[in-house]
Structure 1
Amino acid sequence: MSTSSNWIRRAARNAALALAATAAALLAGELALRAAGFSFVKFWQPDPLTGSRLRAGVQGWQTDEGRAYVRINSQGWRDREHPLAKPAGTYRIAILGDSYAEAMQVDIERTFWWLLPQKLAACGFAAAREIETLNFGVSGYGTGHALLTLRERVWAYHPDMVLLAFFPGNDVRNNSAALEHEMGRAYFSLKDGKLYLDTAFRDDPLFIEKQHISAQRAWLQDLRLYQLLRRVRAGDIAKGFHNAPVAAALAAGEKLTEPGLDEQVFHEPRDGSWREAWDITDRLVAAVADETRSHGARFVLAILSTPGTVYPDAALRERYARSLGVSSLFYPEERLARLGEQRGFEVIALAPQMQRVADAKHVFLHGFANTKPGFGHWNEAGHALAAELIASQLCRRP
Structure 2
Amino acid sequence: MNLIVRVATLVIGGAMLALAFSDDVRIVGGPGLGLTELILLVVGGLNVAAAFVGGGFLAGWLVCQVSVVATLAVAEFALRLTVAPRYLSPFQLDDRYLYDLVPGARREYRHMPVNGGTQLYSVNSFGFRGAEFDAARSAKPRVVIYGDSFIQAEYTALENTLAVQLAERLTSSLNAEVEVINAGVAGYGPDQVLRRVEDELEWLQPDLLIVAVFTGNDFGDLVRNKLYRLSFDGQLIENEFRFSDEIQLNASLETSEPVLRKVGRQAKAGIQAMLQGDQPAPPSPLQRTEERLEQHVREYKEFVISGDNVVYDLRTDPYSADIALQPDSDSAQYKIRLMKVVVAAIQGQAEESGVPLLLIGIPHPMDVLGGKHASGEVDTGKYPAYEPTRLTGTLQDIAARLSIDHINLYPHFAAVDDPAALYLLGGDDHWNDVGQSLAADVVARYIEDRGYLKSD
State the TM-score, normalized to the length of structure 2: 0.69
**Could you list the runs of 4 or more consecutive aligned residues of structure 1 that deviate by over 4 angstroms after TM superposition?**
1-10, 32-38, 204-207, 229-236, 248-259, 314-317
Larger radius of gyration: 2
The aligned length equals: 363
1:85 to 106, 112, 136: 136
**How has the CA–CA distance of structure 1 residues 257 and 397 changed in structure 2, closer, same or farther, with 3 Å as cutoff?**
farther
Cα distance between partner residues in 1 of 2:244 and 2:289: 39
2:67 to 20, 24, 29: 20
Aligned partner of 1:198: which letter? Answer: N
- Alpha-carbon shift at residue 251 of structure 1 (Å): 5.2
Aligned twin of 1:277? 335
**How has the CA–CA distance of structure 1 residues 254 and 200 changed in structure 2, closer, same or farther, with 3 Å as cutoff?**
closer
Q: Where do 1:334-345 residues align within 5 Å?
A: 334-345=393-404
Cα distance between partner residues in 2 of 1:377 and 1:320: 19
Same amino acid, percent of matched pairs: 21
Unpaired stretches in structure 1, ≥5 consecutive residues = 237-245
Cα distance between partner residues in 1 of 2:245 and 2:202: 31
Q: Where do 1:112-127 residues align within 5 Å?
A: 112-124=162-174
Residue by residue, what CA displacement relative to the aligned partner does 1:142-188 show, whole Å, maximum 9, x if unpaired? 11111111001332111111111101111111112xxx2x6xx5234
CA RMSD of aligned residues (A): 3.7
Aligned twin of 2:454? none
Aligned twin of 2:262? 227
Match of 1:90, SS? coil
- Alpha-carbon shift at residue 340 of structure 1 (Å): 2.4
**How has the CA–CA distance of structure 1 residues 71 and 14 changed in structure 2, closer, same or farther, with 3 Å as cutoff?**
same
Cα distance between partner residues in 2 of 1:3 and 1:34: 40
Aligned twin of 1:195? 236
Q: Where do 1:1-398 residues align within 5 Å?
A: 10-24=57-71, 27-28=74-75, 31=78, 39-65=86-112, 67-87=118-138, 89-124=139-174, 128-176=175-223, 180=224, 186-201=227-242, 206=245, 210=248, 214=252, 218=255, 220=256, 224-229=259-264, 231=266, 250=283, 252=285, 260-266=318-324, 269-311=327-369, 320=378, 322-323=380-381, 324-326=383-385, 328-357=387-416, 360-361=417-418, 363-368=420-425, 371-372=426-427, 375-398=428-451
Aligned twin of 1:243? none
Aligned partner of 1:227: which letter? Answer: K
Alignment check: 8 A CA contact 2:326 2:386 kept: no
Match of 1:322, SS? coil
Alignment check: 8 A CA contact 2:365 2:420 kept: no
Match of 2:380, SS? helix
**How has the CA–CA distance of structure 1 residues 14 and 265 changed in structure 2, closer, same or farther, with 3 Å as cutoff?**
same
- Alpha-carbon shift at residue 253 of structure 1 (Å): 7.3
- Alpha-carbon shift at residue 95 of structure 1 (Å): 1.1
Alignment check: 8 A CA contact 1:40 1:62 kept: no
State the TM-score, normalized to the length of structure 1: 0.78
Cα distance between partner residues in 2 of 1:29 and 1:56: 22
Unpaired stretches in structure 2, ≥5 consecutive residues = 7-53, 272-278, 293-317, 452-456
Alignment check: 8 A CA contact 2:201 2:353 kept: no
Cα distance between partner residues in 2 of 1:326 and 1:110: 37
Cα distance between partner residues in 2 of 1:197 and 1:3: 62
**How has the CA–CA distance of structure 1 residues 361 and 256 changed in structure 2, closer, same or farther, with 3 Å as cutoff?**
farther
Alignment check: 8 A CA contact 1:170 1:261 kept: yes
Structure of greater relative contact order (alpha carbons < 8 Å, 6+ residues apart)? 1
Residue by residue, what CA displacement relative to the aligned partner does 1:54-79 show, whole Å, maximum 9, x if unpaired? 11222121104553102122222222
Aligned twin of 2:305? none
Cα distance between partner residues in 1 of 2:168 and 2:87: 33
- Alpha-carbon shift at residue 189 of structure 1 (Å): 2.5
